Amino acid sequence: MTAYDVFNGDADGLCALQQLRLAAPRDTVLVTGPKRDIALLDRIAPRAGDEITVLDVSLDRNRAALDRALAAGANVRWFDHHHAGAVPAHARLEAHIDEAPETCTSLIVDRHLAGAHRAWAVTGAFGDNLGAVAIALAQPLALDAAALDTLRALGQSLNYNAYGETAADLVVAPDDLARRMRPYAHPLEFAAREPCVAELHARRHADLAAAAAVTPEHADDRIAVYRLPEAPWARRVGGTFAHQLARTHPRRAHAVLGPNGDGTYWASLRAPLAAPRGAGALARAFHTGGGREGAAGIERLPESRIPDLIRALAAAYGDRGH
């Protein structure tokens, strides 16, 4: 029997996994990668009796692999907040899925564990751009402003580290990051003692400064579209920059795009924080698109379809007064 932890390499996936493994330590095979690696369940060949835990990964995008795992006799636990579609009813599938825009996988795991490792859930929520939710969740922890700022920065930097075309674009490989996090019961300890945290902070701020110097391709009071250049820093910062834009202009929808090098573009989409709905459905209207209500992405958008994306953003959010 093999135990697998299959998880999104961003802050939410990492912090959800950290909570579970603090509550129930065990040796597992880690299956993860850059945030754009969605079909993670395809990487394993499950057998009868295997234990598979999936965190912050779309069931809908992994449905065929899930069916194969269940047919092989594996036991699967799934925690997620992305679009799932119809969840199979199966005796060996334990699904904890909540697609509400004000939640994330770290919060779903926090509920499952009755708040046993809540500071990590707060960190994951900050990383998923749920600042107000994170602050409310942290109230029982009696953290001062400096501690909350540390968790906010940590969540944002862990999230920043997940973006890239390949693992070579990332500052730290997500599986390595998960192993570095594992010994720390509290994220404040991790932030204070783990040397890679300072490097993540520094690289994030430098990449954000580069992105901020880019002139938007389209911008009004309802939507804004930024096209970043072909560069590792741009691939790393795309999602983080989209989060920052959403926080700075909470009544505006945003799209941040960058070239893949094959004539297509990746796109990070953000619904207005003031009304965080519809991003996932908008992305799914394009081939290789997916996500959740407040934030979504398109893996390979043909350059010829960028005007279609701008029109779709305007149709989805332009008539709502954002």
What pTM was computed for the model? 0.90
Give pLDDT, residue 37.
87
What is the chain's mean pLDDT, rounded? 95
Between 306 and 35, the higher pLDDT residue: 306
State CA 317 to chain mean position distance.
22
The H or E element containing residue 265 is: strand 264-270
* 3-class secondary-structure state, position 172: coil
CA–CA dist 106, 124 (Å, integer): 6
pLDDT digits (tens, 9 = 90+) for 149-190: 999 999 999 999 999 888 888 999 999 999 999 999 999 999
Give pLDDT, residue 320.
46
Query: Looking at this protein, which amino acid is placed at residue 321?
Result: G
Pick the CATH number of 3-202 from 3.90.1640, 3.30.160, 1.25.10, 2.60.120: 3.90.1640
Task: State the number of CA atoms in the 13 A half-sphere of 77 facing the CB.
Answer: 13
CA–CA dist 266, 165 (Å, integer): 9
Sheet holding 295-302, edge to edge: 218-219, 223-227, 253-259, 264-270, 295-302, 289-291
Q: Is the pLDDT of residue 321 over 50?
A: no
Nearest CA to 160 out of 103, 227, 238 is that of: 238
pLDDT digits (tens, 9 = 90+) for 53-94: 999 999 999 999 999 999 999 999 999 999 999 999 999 999
* 3-class secondary-structure state, position 290: strand
CA–CA dist 193, 88 (Å, integer): 43
Give pLDDT, residue 319.
59
pLDDT digits (tens, 9 = 90+) for 253-284: 999 999 998 999 999 999 999 999 999 999 99
CA–CA dist 298, 61 (Å, integer): 13
Task: State the number of CA atoms in the 13 A half-sphere of 14 facing the CB.
Answer: 34
The domain 214-320 having CATH identifier 3.40.800.10: the answer here is: no
CA–CA dist 302, 285 (Å, integer): 13
Give pLDDT, residue 38.
86
Average pLDDT over residues 225-252: 95
Number of other residues whose CB lies within 10 A of the CB of residue 179: 11
The tokens for 54 are: 């999936």
Average pLDDT over residues 104-110: 98
Q: Is the pLDDT of residue 98 over 60?
A: yes
Domain boundaries, the chain: 3-202, 214-320
Q: Is the pLDDT of residue 308 over 70?
A: yes
CA–CA dist 150, 269 (Å, integer): 26
Q: In the chain, what is the straight-line distance between the N-terminal and C-terminal CA atoms, in Å?
A: 52
Contact 306, 215 (CB under 8 A): no
CA–CA dist 23, 145 (Å, integer): 27
CA–CA dist 301, 259 (Å, integer): 9
The tokens for 27 are: 């040796």
pLDDT digits (tens, 9 = 90+) for 203-226: 999 999 999 999 999 999 999 999
Average pLDDT over residues 305-316: 96
Number of other residues whose CB lies within 10 A of the CB of residue 136: 13
CA–CA dist 57, 14 (Å, integer): 12
Burial of 195 (0-12, 13-18, 19+ CB in 10 A): exposed
